[in-house]
Amino acid sequence: MSTDRYVECARGGAALEGLVVDIHMHLGEHVGFHIPHCRDLDLFVREMDAHGVDVGGVAAVPACLGGLQPGGNDMVVEAVRRWPGRFFGWTAVNPHYPDAMLAELERCYEAGCRGLKLHDAVGLDYAHENYRLALDFAAARGMPVLIHTWGGQLDELEGYFQHYQAVNWSLAHAGCSDPDKYVRMARTYENVYLDTCFSGSPRGLIEYFVEQDVAEKVMFSSDCYFMGLAQQLGRVVFAKISAEHKAMILGENARRFLGDLFPR
C-alpha cells in the first residue's frame, strides 16, 4: 500500500492537503440530465471543502452549452462575488450573437470574472471570425482562455495559440483522443496548458503526460458537477507518479497559469 499523502487522504475520504485547484468546474442547469442540487452554491462549496479543493475555476452550463446570454453566467458572477478567494470565474459566451456576447463579457468582467470560456457546442466552429471578438477582448485584459476540445479541434486552434501568445490557454479534456497531439501543443507553445477532466478516466493517461515531460503544463480539473468531483480527483491522486508531480498537477501549475489573477 502506498504511503503517498494524497493517496492516504483519499483512501480515508479526508480533504486533500496542500494546494488543490480545480481549474474547470461548472455551475447551473443542464438540459440533457438533471443534476441534484445543481443550483445550490453553498453545497458546492462544502463539496469542495470535503475534497480539499481550495480554488475552483467555474463556468456556467446555461451559458457555455445553452448559449444563454445575457444572464447565463449569473451563477458564476454570484460565486465570484460571494467567495472571491475560492472561485475563478470563466465567462462563457455565445458567438452567434456578437453584440450580446461583448456586452456579457463586459458585464461579467466588471463583476470580477477574469477568464473566457469557449465551447463549440453552441454550433459554431472555432475558426469562425466571431470568436476573435471574444479573444481580442480577453487578450486586451490579460484573461486566460478555457476552451473545450475533443482532439479534432486542435488543428484549427493552433493558429490562435500563435496569434494570441500573451493569452494562456487551457485545453479541456486533454488526451481524450490523440494524446500525443495534446503533448505536442503543450511542448510547442509556452502559453498552452492541458486540463485533465475526461469521463472515460483511462488508466495511464496522467502517467503518459508525466512520461512525456509535460507535467508542468497539466492542471487538474473535474468538470464537476457535470461529472463527479471525487472520480476525477482519483485519476490524479492514484496515478502512478511522484507526490511532487501530483502537487504540480493538483495546484501549483494552475497557480502559475493564473498568475496575478489567482483568487485570494
**Footprint of other proteins on residues 41-80 (CB under 8 A)?**
43, 47, 50-51
Binding mask 230-259 for other proteins (x = CB under 8 A): xxxxxx-xxxx-------------------
Longest dimension (CA), the chain: 57
Query: Is 85 a residue that touches other proteins (CB under 8 A)?
Result: no
Alpha helices by DSSP H, listed for 52-129, are 61-64, 74-82, 98-110
- Applying CB under 8 A, among 122, 208, 252, 255 the residue interacting with other proteins is 208
Nearer to other proteins, 114 or 173 (CB): 173
- Applying CB under 8 A, among 162, 165, 188, 199 the residue interacting with other proteins is 199
Query: Is 17 a residue that touches other proteins (CB under 8 A)?
Result: yes
Q: How far is the CB of 90 from other proteins (least distance, A)?
A: 18
- 146 by DSSP, 3-state: which? strand
Return d(Cα 230, Cα 171) in angstroms, integer. Answer: 21
Q: What angle do CA 142, 148, 153 make, to 5 degrees?
A: 105
Binding mask 29-48 for other proteins (x = CB under 8 A): -x-xxxxxxx----x---x-
Range 81-84, long-range pairs (CB < 8 A, 24+ positions) = 81/111, 81/112, 82/41, 83/45, 84/112, 84/263, 84/264
- Whole-angstrom Cα Rg for the chain: 17
Binding site for other proteins (CB under 8 A): 1-3, 5, 7-14, 17, 30, 32-38, 43, 47, 50-51, 199-208, 224-235, 237-240
